[in-house]
C-alpha cells in the first residue's frame, strides 16, 4: 500500500478509476454528480482510502480516465486532499476549477495548488 503526498502528482499523467460517473445520483445528498469523480488505484490518502480525483473536461459518464493532474485541493478542515485531473493540453484557471468542484468543496475550507504550466490562460476549458 502506497500512502501518497498528493502534491507529488502535480503535472503528472495519471489513470483514475471512475466510481461516481457524471450524472451519478448521491442518495444521501439528493443530487447528481456534475462531473466524473474517482480515485487513483493503489495510491492511498491520509484517510486510508484510495486517493480521490475530480475529472474535468469530459461531458459524458466515464469508467476510467487518463489525464494530467492540474491541481491539488488541500482540505484544511479534513485529512485528505483531492486531485484535479484534466485532459492533456487543457488549461484551467483556479476560478474554473473551483466552479466545477464547488458542489462538494463548498462544504470544506480548502486551498488549491496548481501545477506549474497548467494554469492560467491557454485553451479555454469552457468551450
The model's pLDDT over 5-14, given as tens digits with 9 standing for 90+, comes to: 899 999 999 9
Q: What is the pLDDT, as a whole number, of residue 117?
A: 78
Residue with cell 461516481: 20
Does the pTM surpass 0.85? The reply is: yes
Answer CATH for 2-114 from 3.90.80.10, 3.40.30.10, 2.40.110.10, 3.40.50.2300: 3.90.80.10
User: With contact defined as beta carbons under 8 Å apart, do 84 and 114 qualify?
Assistant: no
User: With contact defined as beta carbons under 8 Å apart, do 53 and 39 qualify?
Assistant: yes
Domain chopping of the chain, boundaries: 2-114
- The closest alpha carbon to 77, from 113, 112, 46, 108, belongs to 108
Confidence of residue 2 (pLDDT cuts 50, 70, 90): very low
Angle at the Cα of 77 from the Cα atoms of 51 and 73, rounded to 5 degrees = 45
Q: How far lies 52's CA from each of 4, 121, 122, 127, in Å? A: 11, 26, 26, 26
Q: What is the pLDDT, as a whole number, of residue 41?
A: 97
Q: What is the pLDDT, as a whole number, of residue 99?
A: 97
Amino acid at each position: 500500500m502506497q500512502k501518497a503526498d498528493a502534491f507529488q502528482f502535480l503535472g503528472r499523467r495519471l489513470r483514475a478509476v471512475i466510481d461516481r460517473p457524471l450524472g451519478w445520483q448521491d442518495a444521501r445528498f439528493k443530487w447528481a454528480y456534475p462531473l466524473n469523480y474517482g480515485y487513483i488505484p493503489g495510491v492511498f490518502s491520509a484517510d486510508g482510502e484510495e486517493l480521490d480525483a475530480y475529472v474535468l473536461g469530459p461531458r459524458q459518464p466515464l469508467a476510467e480516465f487518463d489525464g494530467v493532474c492540474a491541481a491539488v485541493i488541500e482540505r484544511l478542515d479534513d485529512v485528505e486532499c483531492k486531485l484535479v485531473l484534466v485532459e492533456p493540453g487543457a488549461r484551467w484557471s483556479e476560478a474554473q476549477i473551483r466552479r466545477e468542484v464547488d458542489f462538494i468543496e463548498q462544504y470544506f475550507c480548502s486551498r488549491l495548488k496548481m501545477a506549474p504550466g497548467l494554469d492560467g490562460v491557454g485553451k479555454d476549458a469552457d468551450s
